[in-house]
Structure 1
Amino acid sequence: MKRIELYLTLTNNSSCITSLQCEINFFLPLFAINCNFFLRNTHMVRKTLHNLVILTLSVFIHFVCYAQDKEDNNKEIPSVTDQSSIYNAQAKNYRKTDFAKSILYAKKALDDAETHNNVNEQIKAYMNMGDVAYFQSNIPESQIHYSSALELCKQTVNDTLKADVLSNIGSNYIHFGDLETAKVYYQDALLLYEKAEDINGIGNTYNNLGIINLYNNELQEAENNFTKSIELKKEIDNQKDVALALNNIGVLNKDLNNPEGALTYFEEAEIIYNELEDHNGMAEVNNNIGLIHFSLGNNNTALNYFKKALKHVKNTNNKKLLCEVGINCGAVYENQARYEKAINQYHESLEIAEKIDNQSLLAHSCNNIANIYMKMDNYSKSLEYLLKSEELFTAIGDQEGIALCYIGLGNIYSNMGLNEKAIEYYKLSMVVNESLGKSERLAEIHQNIGALYEFNNDLDLAKEHYEASLNINKELGFEDKIAKNLMTLGSIYKIEKKYDKAEVFYKKSYNIARQLGQKEILVQYFKNMSEIYYERNDYKTAIEFLFDHNSTKDSIINKDINKQITEIMTKYE
């Protein structure tokens, strides 16, 4: 699974009570000096003490009235008994690491702020609750909390706080796919940040507007906005946000099928995070570099980067990222047919997702476990986990996740021989992925539909879908997928008894698979080549390929390994 990060405005939880304490502390040394003077001049003590008490009381009353005035007019200064700012600060600290704790403190902050009629802290409490839902990928719930904050903004004069709320709502609309509405919210936020002369907020907003430009394929405008964002962050020497901006641009370059450009930005971000000794940042950027290599079929390189990410994330308390990187490691192991490691990794991630109550990661973990069960021909268990995954994705409104489940359901029904039902789910997934512009998924669906037509001996339609998948993967540069496409096209020509043409496709597939270490493709290659040479009456070569097939297959999974995996699965029941 991939990481896509937008700037989510972090609300400032500092309280006006701090400045009030500083003011009071400023007067304490004066009181001490006067006391020393009294000790030296006892005859003046009574009169001076009387005057000093009057002065002190006057000053205290002045500040209390000033504070009350500010609270009445601007709703910004809490009373000394108002703990909401402290609770909000605690909620902020736990937003990414302990969702339950963060929500607990945010609710305490809200209760206290409502008791003391502190509108700004009420807004921040709703923002914190919205942020938690956002980090849990529960965008609909996040929107509810942000909307509550926005309603309260009518009662505050704090322009930065208003802008923060508008900005976060804009980020939600990006997740909803409503880019025009997101843009309106960002532009409104930008006006308020500029009015407040909040350079950090302005920089964040230019970054987010750049993301909208990228989604709309407005490349020049995107470059301009990203450049403005980075320049502003450099102006205030916010190197961490410069790195985050570079990381975000890298993620979006990946989505734009520009892996080389993505790697360039990730590597620039990596340098900054390394200089800052920012373990969380290093974990995120190494995870993203790993994802680029994984998408290109470079499994070993991807795994190395994921392991680097794990090393860094273990130095933080970011359980969400730990879970994500774990899932990605499992995906590499699965791709390498190392199912024992994959199933362990997926279950570890599932347990973390349950602890932090992250519905999105729970859904992804269930989906991946379902895939392993399917590869072990345990369709009932696979279906159980897949339906649970679909339920979770639906609850949080994750259309991409739902489409992924449709593909999985199509795969299961295909393996069970229920081809019509399989095609039905593949087509459902195709509709969703087309609306999301997910070319990679469309390639996968074409491949799967082609396999069903091949099974039904409708070779022309099978070839049509296989070629459509191949063309998409060539455009995306996904070598591992290309190897699979070439293998299946070769099989069509083998069925048609066009053995020479089939062999050409098989050899192209073999060369890629050998380079990438795709053992499952190699198993298919040796089997298919054995069958071709058998048909040519070259039994010696056919047997040699058959031996290669058996030895390669045994290296992937034999009876002992199968037993181990079954035991592992039983352990997690």
Structure 2
Amino acid sequence: MQHHKEKDTTRVNILNALAFSHFSRDMPKTLEYLDEAYTIADIIQFEKGKARNIYIKGITEAIQSNYDQALGYYNEALKLYENIDFKKGIANCYNAMGITYKNIGKPRKSVDYIKKAIKIEEEIGSNNLSASLINLGNSYTDLGEFAEAIPYLNKALSIAKADKNKQRVAYSLNNLGTIYLDQGNYPLALEYFKESLYINEKIGDSLGIANHLNNIGWMYKTRKQYDKAMKHYEKALEIDKRIDNKRGVSSTLNDIGIIYEENGDYERALNYYIKALDINKQIGSKKGIPNILHNIGEVYLALNEFNTANQYFSEAKKISTEIGDKVTLCDTYIGLAKTYANQKLYDSALNNVLKAKKISKVSGFLDCQKEATEILFNIYKATGNYRDALENHQQFKTLNDSLFNKENIKKIAQIEYEYKYKQALDSANIRELQLTKTVRAKSEDLEKTQRNYLWAIIGVLMISMLLGSVIFYQKLKNAKTKTQNAVIEQKLLRSQMTPHFIFNSLSVLQGMILNKEDKKSVSYLSKFSKLLRITLENSRDKTVLLSQELKAVQNYLTLQNLENDAYQSTLLVEETIDIPMFEVPPMLIQPFVENAIEHAFIDTNDDKKIDIRLKYIDKKLICTIADNGIGYMPQKKTNNGYKKSLSTAITSERLKILSKDFKMDGSVTIEDREKYNAQGTIVTLVIPHKFVA
């Protein structure tokens, strides 16, 4: 844009494109670009540019939950596109209108508009097809029709991956995760949420990040890890407020209210629920209202104010039925059943809980099924119907086990892991002993060689002292190099993937298989085998492609973090680095990442972060590994000493040799981030490299 100052169609298109790329992270800048673009388009009568501009204005209003204004802009843009018969623009407007109707609680109308968009996009071969499929899947999700939603979302994911559209890949994963969350498949849901969040953080999509933080917060809340859940909600709330996403703010306030409710702080819970309800009413969105009303009803039920609870549940049921929200409708029937049961109105309680059970079975809501069977057990027991009470109690136990049997599997896997790890440790000790013997033998050979050469020098000194000195020096240098290489090779083998990590990974995999998580276990095994293969291949080569080295590091991070969400990690490569053009020595980065994981967070459990960054400055390839752990200085006082013998010393030795081979500087430094007014440790590697021929 700086090089194109002329006020023509090209500048309008550039400004519109900039506005569209900024709307999810910088609203003021977006509006600035839109104003300039519309002024130029209006002057030069560029109808297509005006239509695009108005369409993007609709998106900015929708993000701020100004749905009436958004629909007004979309209809205005649609008329302009229809006048010039621009089908791609027409499809975009239908799609946007479908999203808006979904957000205001009209999912059936949303489905109709999005299907119109998809029909046009399939005719013209639009690259926006994956986005429309995501939106259609979301509308079916709101209707609780998961069997319809999942195929559309999987198709969208496949297209987005083929198109290398990271944003749409992230949204597809997130929405699939939401479905698995509603179905009670928490591990699979968390896996999708984490992968999606990582992508959105990498591309800087604020709206996507806020949504994912909310989802992950919900996962922690479900597991009753309230502190972690609250941290994610607070981060999401901060982002939603910054980008003025009122619907997101309302949703997060509602989720925070649930945490206070589950902890018995009903007054504070009601305060958050009422704030969330007021925002939904202000923006005219019915979508979030039934869930908030249901939650308020739950608070009054806990306070034994049954009539008030009944009023809120009844209102939630009415709106849920209107907008087709089956998830909340099912929860509301459960709430009404509990209220009537507490009042000993068992016929009314039975009528409502049977409706909930029917919906939950059809839609696959395991949590709702579990609650329904528990309530039925109590009702039948109270009314003397012991046969049906027993049957529902057995169903409750089965459903509860299907949702919460992972702890037992984890314990079994841990016992087996400890046994296998001891075996692996014994094997590793034997291997290390053999390597030590080899080094010792080489050292003894060296000493013997030195003595022989000494006698040889004395013998030939009379013939030619100079010649003998040269021969001795060369031979001694070669022998020392061989010994040095053997020592470094031994240390390098020890600094690679530890038996602890390998067998822990196998135990995690076994737990997934026992839990019948077929897709997840296949994915995990694939990543694990790829990492092993890459490690073995890289160990044989003097240099590897930078992309291969980064892939190994990323796979290692993914596996270490896959099962229990131990930490957050980022791997950023500056745009100045053309990754395919670089070759580097293998296994320089991974040992320091491993040190951070194993030693940086000894005295802390929350908010663990590891950031890996690569930059290219003054012809130097620089990698930093930073964590927010206990810092380097405290670790030097421990017995582990930040594994200095395995990382700092080994890498320093390697870099001395590599620097000579590559004819460029290589170094490693470890610093406490306290000197930079931050928490943790930072490792800085200057990596010798060469460019691909």
TM-score by length of 1: 0.66
| Aligned counterpart for 1:514 among listed residues 346, 350, 361 | 361
Q: How far apart, in 2, do the equivalents of 1:372 and 1:203 lie? A: 41
Distance 1:258 1:400, change over 3 A: closer
Residue from 214, 225, 233 that aligns with 1:386: 233
Q: Map Cα deviations across residues 43-95 of structure 1 (whole Å, 9 max, x no partner).
A: xxxxxxxxxxxxxxxxxxxxxxxxxxxxxxxxxxxxxxxxxxxxx4xxxxxxx
Q: Return the alpha-carbon distance in structure 1 between the equivalents of residues 283 and 190 of structure 2.
A: 30
Q: In 1, distance between residues paired with 2:220 and 2:70?
A: 43
Give deviations 1:145-178, integer Å, cap 9, x for gaps: 438x74xxxxxxxxxx4536xxxxxxxxxxxxxx
- For 2:28, give the aligned amino acid: P
Paired with 1:397 and 1:245, the residues of 2 have a C-alpha distance of: 23
Stretch deviating more after TM superposition (351-360 or 473-482): 473-482
User: Is residue 2:602 matched to residue 1:570?
Assistant: no
8 Å Cα contact 1:366/1:389 also seen in 2: yes
Residue equivalent to 1:467? 314
Residue 142 (1) aligns with residue 30 (2): yes
Measured after TM superposition, the shift of residue 227 of structure 1 is 6.1
User: Matched residues in 2 for 1:206 and 1:127: separation?
Assistant: 10
Q: Relative to structure 1, is the Cα distance of residues 392 and 486 closer, same or farther in structure 2, using a 3 angstrom cutoff?
A: same
The 8 Å contact of residues 13 and 49 in structure 2, kept in 1 or not, is answered as no
Going from structure 1 to structure 2, the CA distance change for 1:418 and 1:256 (only over 3 Å counts) comes to closer
User: Hey, what's the Cα distance between the residues in 1 that align with 2:20 and 2:317?
Assistant: 40
Specify whether residues 492 and 433 from structure 1 end up closer, same or farther in structure 2 by C-alpha distance, changes over 3 A only. same
1:307 is displaced (CA, Å) by 0.7
3-state SS, counterpart of residue 231 of structure 1: helix
The residue number in structure 2 matching 1:374 is 221
CA contact (8 A) 2:336 2:352 kept: yes
Paired amino acid for 1:254: K
Q: Which residue of 2 aligns with 1:72?
A: none
Matching of residues 275-294 of structure 1 within 5 Å? 275-278=123-126, 280-294=127-141
Q: Which amino acid aligns with 1:277?
A: G
Query: What aligned pairs does 1:242-257 form with structure 2 within 5 A after superposition?
Result: 242-255=90-103, 257=105
Q: In structure 1, give the amino acid aligned to 2:565.
A: M
Name which structure has the greater RCO, CA cutoff 8 Å, separation 6+.
Answer: 1
Describe the shift of the 1:208–1:228 C-alpha distance in structure 2 as closer, same or farther (beyond 3 A): farther
Q: Does residue 83 of structure 2 align to residue 232 of structure 1? A: yes
- 1:283 Cα deviation from its structure 2 partner: 0.5
Q: What's the offset of the Cα at 1:501?
A: 1.3
Cα distance change, pair 516–123 in 1 and its aligned pair in 2 (3 A): closer
AA aligned opposite 1:330:
G
Equivalence for 2:114: 266
Alpha carbons 1:199, 1:232 under 8 Å: kept: no
Paired residue for 1:16? none
The one of 443, 457, 462 aligned to 2:290: 443
The structural deviation recorded for 1:139 is 1.4
Residues 1:404 and 1:129: Cα distance change in structure 2 (over 3 Å): same
- Following TM superposition, by how much is the alpha carbon of 1:218 offset from its aligned partner in structure 2, in angstroms? 12
Query: Secondary structure in 1 aligned to 2:564?
Result: helix
Contact 2:54 2:73 in 1 (8 A): no
1:155-174 matched pairs, under 5 angstroms: 161-163=37-39
Partner secondary structure for residue 286 of structure 1? helix
Specify the code of the residue in structure 2 equivalent to 1:530: F
Q: Which amino acid aligns with 1:338?
A: N
Deviation of 1:541 (Å): 2.2
Report the Cα distance in structure 1 between the residues aligned to 2:345 and 2:185, rounded to whole angstroms.
34
Q: Would you say 1:456 and 2:343 are equivalent positions?
A: no
Q: What is the distance in 2 between the residues matched to 1:222 and 1:129? A: 19
Contact 1:203 1:233 in 2 (8 A): no
CA–CA distance in structure 2, aligned partners of residues 336 and 529 of structure 1: 21
- The structure 2 residue matched to 1:201, chosen from 49, 58, 70, is 49
What whole-Å deviation, never above 9, does each CA across 1:346-371 have from its counterpart, x for those lacking one?
Answer: 11111111111122211111111010
User: How far apart, CA to CA, are the structure 2 residues paired with 1:332 and 1:452?
Assistant: 26
Residue by residue over 1:238-271, the C-alpha shift from the partner in whole angstroms, topping out at 9 and shown as x without a partner, is 3322222222233334345443443233223222
TM-score using structure 2 length: 0.55
In 2, distance between residues paired with 1:217 and 1:465?
A: 30
For 2:323 and 2:58, the matched residues in 1 are separated by 23
Structure 2 unaligned residues grouped into runs of 5+: 411-510, 513-561, 569-607, 609-693
Question: More helix by proportion, 1 or 2?
Answer: 1
CA distance in 2, matches of 1:537, 1:125: 74
1:475–1:415 CA distance, 2 compared to 1 (3 A) = same
Partners of 2:111 and 2:140 within 8 A in 1: no
Name the aligned partner's letter for residue 395 of structure 2: D
Q: Deviations over 1:309-347 (max 9, x none)?
A: 101111223222221221111100100111111101111
Q: 1:367 & 1:546 partners in 2: Cα distance?
A: 33
Aligned residue among 346, 357, 364 for 2:193: 346
Q: Secondary structure at the match of 1:315?
A: helix
Instruction: Read off the aligned partner of 2:374 and give its amino acid letter.
Output: K
1:307 equivalent in alignment to 2:154:
yes
- Cα deviation 1:350-398 (Å, max 9, x = unaligned): 1111111122211111111010000001111111111111122222222
| Secondary structure in structure 1 of the residue aligned to 2:288 | helix
Structure 1 CA distance for aligned equivalents of residues 243 and 69 of structure 2: 27
Aligned to 1:38: none
Task: For 1:413, give the aligned amino acid.
Answer: Y
**Secondary structure of the structure 2 residue equivalent to 1:439:** coil
Q: How many angstroms apart in 2 are the aligned matches of 1:133 and 1:304?
A: 31
* CA–CA separation in structure 1 for the residues paired with 2:265 and 2:231: 17
User: Are residues 1:525 and 2:525 paired?
Assistant: no
The equivalent of 2:397 in structure 1 is 550
Counterpart residue identity of residue 112, structure 2:
T
Counterpart position of 1:321: 168
Note if contact 1:209-1:225 (Cα within 8 Å) is conserved in structure 2. no
Specify the code of the residue in structure 1 equivalent to 2:129.
M
Q: How does 1:20-39 map onto structure 2 within 5 Å?
A: none
Distance 1:421 1:255 in 2: 27
Number of equivalences: 415
User: Residue type of the partner of 1:273?
Assistant: E
Give the Cα separation in 2 of the matches to 1:543 and 1:344: 36
What is the Cα deviation at residue 558 of structure 1?
1.1
Aligned mate of 1:133, from 22, 37, 42:
22
The letter for the 2-side match of 1:478 is D
Q: Tell me how far 1:502 sits from its aligned partner.
A: 0.7
The answer for the alignment partner of 1:31 in structure 2 is none
Separation of aligned partners in 2, 1:367 and 1:561: 28
SS at match of 1:201: helix
In 2, the alpha carbon distance for the partners of 1:217 and 1:140 equals 18
The aligned runs of 1:344-423 (5 Å cut-off) are: 344-423=191-270
CA distance in 1, matches of 2:105, 2:290: 14
Going from structure 1 to structure 2, the CA distance change for 1:403 and 1:141 (only over 3 Å counts) comes to farther
1:500 to 347, 354, 362: 347
Amino acid at match of 1:228: K
Q: Residues 137 and 396 of structure 1 are in contact (CA less than 8 Å); yes or no, is this contact kept in structure 2? A: yes
CA–CA distance in structure 1, aligned partners of residues 206 and 295 of structure 2: 28
Q: Which runs of 5+ in 1 are unaligned?
A: 1-87, 89-108, 151-160, 165-191
Greater shift in the superposed pair: 209-218 or 396-405:
209-218
Classify the secondary structure of the residue corresponding to 1:314.
Answer: helix
Between the aligned partners of 1:366 and 1:257, the Cα distance in structure 2 is 23
Moved more, 540-549 or 120-129: 120-129
Structure 1 residues 443 and 128 mapped into 2: Cα distance closer, same or farther (>3 Å)? same
